[in-house]
């Protein structure tokens, strides 16, 4: 697909500078782009490449003041990174819209309801009373259990598995290997030392505009629902346990684990490899640094926390600094002890 600079500017509400007729057919990083490609500059660290790149069109911040002449056509926008993301999304949307029809072999139960303009890839399985909205794209090897519902414009990439009764909203993207609705980790200790499985009879509800990365697992509730609220973004390889609630527009990086019945507020940012205890709450706007262990509820909103057990970010950094100094402090304490012993000895001798 080819677009000229004028068309691109219109798509992202930008102001073009230069030849608006120049066309691009692909994307490239500003330091590597060649003629016929579109790039962007958002990070000032890469500004030097603005003056040497071969890209034909470059999206830049409207506030950027040029230090040299630029050969490429520029498109100025308030936020280059956001504008570039919007453009990529439109490009991807146009590419996926071309996919329609049902590939064979695949299995679709007679009771399933299919919307308009859908795509179902080969080896997909759709169980009883599955409901698929309009413009849904289901790629190869996807498995949908009985009574699953998928909202309009959602995309399920290869190998996604959604267990029975789970509900997926509109404009949701589930990446390859994601498992929605597997059993929560519930076992009752027995007198003989064994464990009796507690049936997990709830479901998972994923609301609109959620994106979930590859090989992430979200457990169904013991009773009720595990809920991923509107606009949440989950990275690859995340474990969400039973009866967890992830708030609106919360983002979670890879390898994090949220234990059962934890309630995460809206606009929370959780770094990679963070772990939480179960049955706690995390206040709106919290920022949790990577590899932190959250052992108790975070009640004050908009706090930044770090460490294990997680504490206020600045306090945690001071603790880490003190910990690094422990060998030196130990040495000084021992020297002081020797000095005190010597003084006491001298005092006794006197």
| 3-state SS assignment for residue 272 | coil
Q: Residue 65: which residues within 8 A CB-CB, separation 6 or more?
A: none
Which residues 6+ apart lie within 8 Å of 129 measured at CB? 109, 111, 112, 113, 146, 147
Instruction: Give every strand in the sheet of 225-228, ordered side by side.
Output: 113-114, 131-132, 149-150, 167-168, 203-206, 225-228, 245-246, 263-264, 281-282
Max Cα distance, the chain (Å): 103
Whether the CB-CB separation of 85 and 20 falls below 8 Å is answered with no
In the chain the first and final C-alpha atoms are separated, in Å, by: 96
Reported as half-sphere exposure (CB side, CA atoms, 13 A), residue 180 has a value of 38
242 an active-site residue? yes
Residue owning tokens 């498992």: 179
- Exactly one of 157, 175, 242, 279 is catalytic; name it: 242
Going by C-alpha positions, the residue among 12, 43, 7, 10 that lies closest to residue 25 is: 7
Task: Evaluate whether 172 touches 211 at the Cβ level (below 8 Å).
Answer: yes
What's the chain's length in residues? 350
Q: What positions carry a catalytic annotation? A: 242
């Amino acid at each position: 697909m080819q677009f000229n600079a004028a068309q691109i500017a219109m798509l992202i509400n930008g102001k073009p500078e230069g030849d608006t007729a120049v066309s691009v057919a692909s994307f490239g990083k500003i330091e590597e782009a060649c003629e016929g490609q579109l790039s962007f500059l958002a990070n000032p660290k890469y500004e030097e490449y603005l003056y040497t790149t071969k890209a034909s069109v470059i999206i830049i911040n409207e506030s950027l003041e040029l230090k040299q002449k630029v050969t490429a056509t520029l498109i100025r926008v308030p936020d280059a990174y956001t504008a570039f993301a919007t453009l990529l999304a439109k490009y991807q949307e146009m590419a996926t819209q071309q996919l329609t029809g049902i590939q064979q072999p695949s299995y679709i139960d007679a009771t399933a309801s299919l919307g308009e303009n859908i795509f179902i890839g080969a080896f997909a399985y759709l169980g009883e009373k599955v409901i698929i909205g309009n413009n849904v794209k289901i790629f190869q090897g996807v498995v949908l259990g009985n009574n699953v519902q998928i909202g309009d414009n959602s995309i399920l990439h290869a190998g996604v598995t959604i267990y029975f009764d789970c509900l997926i909203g509109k404009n949701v993207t589930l990446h390859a290997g994601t498992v929605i609705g597997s059993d929560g980790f519930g076992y009752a200790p027995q007198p003989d030392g064994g464990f009796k499985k507690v049936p997990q009879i709830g479901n998972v509800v994923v609301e609109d505009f959620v994106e979930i990365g590859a090989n992430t697992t979200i457990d169904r509730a013991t009773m009720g629902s595990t809920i991923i609220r509107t606009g949440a973004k989950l990275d690859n390889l995340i474990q969400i346990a039973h009866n967890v609630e992830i708030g609106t527009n919360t983002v979670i990086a890879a390898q994090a684990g949220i234990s059962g019945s934890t309630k995460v507020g809206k606009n929370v940012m959780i770094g990679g490899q963070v772990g939480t205890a179960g049955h706690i709450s995390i206040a709106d706007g919290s920022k949790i640094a990577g590899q932190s262990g959250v052992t108790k509820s975070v009640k004050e909103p908009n706090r930044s926390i770090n460490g294990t057990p997680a504490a206020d970010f600045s306090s945690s950094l001071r603790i880490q600094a003190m910990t690094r100094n422990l060998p030196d402090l130990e040495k000084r304490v021992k020297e002081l002890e020797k000095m005190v012993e010597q003084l006491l000895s001298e005092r006794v001798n006197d």
